[in-house]
Amino acid sequence: MNRNTPPILSTSGLTKRFGSFTALDRMDFDLYRGEVHAIVGENGAGKSTFVKLLSGIYQPSAGSFSIDGKETSFKGPKASMEIVGLVHQDRELIPNFTGFQNLFLGTESSRMGFLRKKEMKRSCIELMKEFQLELETDTPVERLSPGEQEMITILKILSRRTPIIILDEPTASLSQKESDILFELIESLRKHGLSIIYISHRLPEVLSLSDRITVLRNGRKVTTFENESITEEQLIAAMINRDLENQYPIIEREKGDEVLDVEEYTYERERLENISFSVRRGEIVGFAGLVGSGRTELFRSFFTGAGRTGKAVKLEGIPIASHSPGDSIRRGIVMVPEDRRNEGVITSMSVKDNLILPNMDILSRFGFRQERRIEEFSRDIFEKLSIAAESDSQAMRTLSGGNQQKAAIGKWLAKHAKLWIFDEPTQGIDVETKSEIYRLLGTLARDGAGVVFISSDLRELTELCDRIYVMRDRKIVEQFSRPYSREQILSAMIVGVKDR
């Protein structure tokens, strides 16, 4: 980072209002060449709004920003593309296109109406060599791992030679190995003189990577730390304006009978073999494992009815063989999926419509909507979960990730489910919202439900769960009870312990 020259980017009083709601208030910020400048804050703190202003998606209500000392305004995303490269949390790739096709989409080289494929492939190879990347660019990206997809997205930005790159929650769906590769690339980009705005809820990696850290809270800049002696605890305190002593709330609950009993469950299509486990009422049961271990595939298969369960799965002692998600829901099983934007909520609908959609059986009569009940029902969940929005009529796509997750959970509350399945429910969510979700898990268990908690965060698993199963290579290899040893759990995840 070179602070002897003027910043490549600076903002002064940058403000964005939506009606009476101020999403970003008088933001002052600067970014130097070769700097990794992190931005942290709770969901709804203003991070996404700031990024959308810089990339031309939004126009500021007040204030300005400058590039290399010259005041600039982008009238749309296309106008910003030569200066700012934005790598979204939800990678914008066309699944059935190859990495090569995605890389040059919209910037194809052609002559007399014909694509110059050899020239583009040569450019692709040279670009990968420059940044020491090895990627499979001739394969449809839907077949690539999340880490490989992330690298294709970043490579697409690098091909445009933008001096500023914004990485929005880049490691949210990556394994540790894929994250390490990304971190090496970021260091390489820094050495090439590129400037990076790094947005993440994972504070350890923020502290490891960044030169400076700016904290946002409630749409305002709180402070900018020099990353020398700042601690994770100090960052959290600045983000939420208080010490987070009770991040993992303790909710007393009694364990009851088995609500779910799985014995030698097998589903060949997903290579799941002879899997056995149980969940009791009032119990939070964790599932740990590396990416690809089979945790999501296991629960998705019998929730959706993709895998015929026969007598392998018993709910309250009765064998069940679900044929569809609707069938599972009617039996008292609900699942909050990992991919909340595409599977957990419908982003084009309002918050209210998302909350009432699975509950129309109790919100209608003789086929007609009962509007007064609908309003009361939606408002009750909206307030109960403290969803941060102007109203329940706000479009779901405009909410932060944490508030979308609250809605994805809230729509099931009226079902009084016997079994809740949570798949990575705190991924890409701020620390305060995480605590709210932890509290909700404990409340559901206290009220008599069984809770399955799939997570890649060992700390939250060991703090919250009564028991933890470890999966590896599509099998359960070990079960742990309190007191936990994170080292032993991690060892089971990596090398396995027993063959079942």
Q: 323-340 pLDDT, tens per residue?
A: 899 999 999 999 999 888
pLDDT, tens digit (0-9, with 9 covering 90-100), for 108-142: 667 776 777 787 788 888 888 887 777 788 888 88
Asked if 233 and 267 sit in the same domain, the reply is no
Asked if 203 and 291 sit in the same domain, the reply is no
Asked if 129 and 213 sit in the same domain, the reply is yes
Asked if 192 and 293 sit in the same domain, the reply is no
Which residue, of 210, 240, 270, is where some domain finishes?
240
Containing structural domain, residue 313: 258-345+411-495
- The yes-or-no verdict on residue 11 having pLDDT over 90 is yes
Cα distances (Å, whole numbers) of residue 470 to 80, 299, 399:
46, 14, 34
- Contact predicate 77/57, CB 8 Å: yes
Question: Which range in 37-46, 343-352, 428-437 is most confidently predicted, on average pLDDT?
Answer: 343-352
Asked if 87 and 191 sit in the same domain, the reply is yes
- The DSSP secondary structure of 174-205, one letter per residue, reads --HHHHHHHHHHHHHHHHTT-EEEEE-S-HHH
Asked if 61 and 137 sit in the same domain, the reply is yes
Asked if 272 and 336 sit in the same domain, the reply is yes
Which residue, of 194, 214, 240, is where some domain finishes?
240
Q: Which helix (H) or strand (E) covers residue 47, if one does? A: helix 47-54
Q: Mean pLDDT over residues 83-102, rounded? A: 81
Answer whether residue 277 is part of any domain.
Answer: yes
Answer whether residue 69 is part of any domain.
Answer: yes
pLDDT at 499: 45
pLDDT interval class at 43 (50, 70, 90): low
- The yes-or-no verdict on residue 2 having pLDDT over 70 is no
Instruction: Give the position of tokens 């999966």.
Output: 471
* CA–CA dist 227, 199 (Å, integer): 15
pLDDT at 109: 65
* Of 400, 302, 339, the residue nearest 146 (C-alpha): 339
pLDDT at 149: 83
Answer whether residue 394 is part of any domain.
Answer: no
Asked if 161 and 271 sit in the same domain, the reply is no
Answer whether residue 251 is part of any domain.
Answer: no
Asked if 216 and 281 sit in the same domain, the reply is no
pLDDT at 364: 92
Asked if 218 and 158 sit in the same domain, the reply is yes
pLDDT, tens digit (0-9, with 9 covering 90-100), for 279-290: 999 999 999 987
pLDDT, tens digit (0-9, with 9 covering 90-100), for 295-318: 999 999 989 888 765 678 899 999
- The yes-or-no verdict on residue 386 having pLDDT over 50 is yes
Overall domain count for the chain: 2
Which residue, of 208, 240, 272, is where some domain finishes?
240
Q: What is the pTM of this model?
A: 0.63
Answer whether residue 250 is part of any domain.
Answer: no
Answer whether residue 288 is part of any domain.
Answer: yes
* CA–CA dist 247, 254 (Å, integer): 22
pLDDT at 287: 97
* CA–CA dist 206, 213 (Å, integer): 8
Residue 447 identity? D
Answer whether residue 402 is part of any domain.
Answer: no
Query: Domain holding 290: CATH number?
Result: 3.40.50.300
- The DSSP secondary structure of 108-168, one letter per residue, reads --EETTEE-HHHHHHHHHHHHHHTT-----SSBGGGS-HHHHHHHHHHHHHHTT-SEEEEE
Asked if 332 and 448 sit in the same domain, the reply is yes
Answer whether residue 287 is part of any domain.
Answer: yes
pLDDT, tens digit (0-9, with 9 covering 90-100), for 211-236: 999 999 888 999 999 988 788 888 87
- The yes-or-no verdict on residue 350 having pLDDT over 90 is yes
Asked if 303 and 341 sit in the same domain, the reply is yes
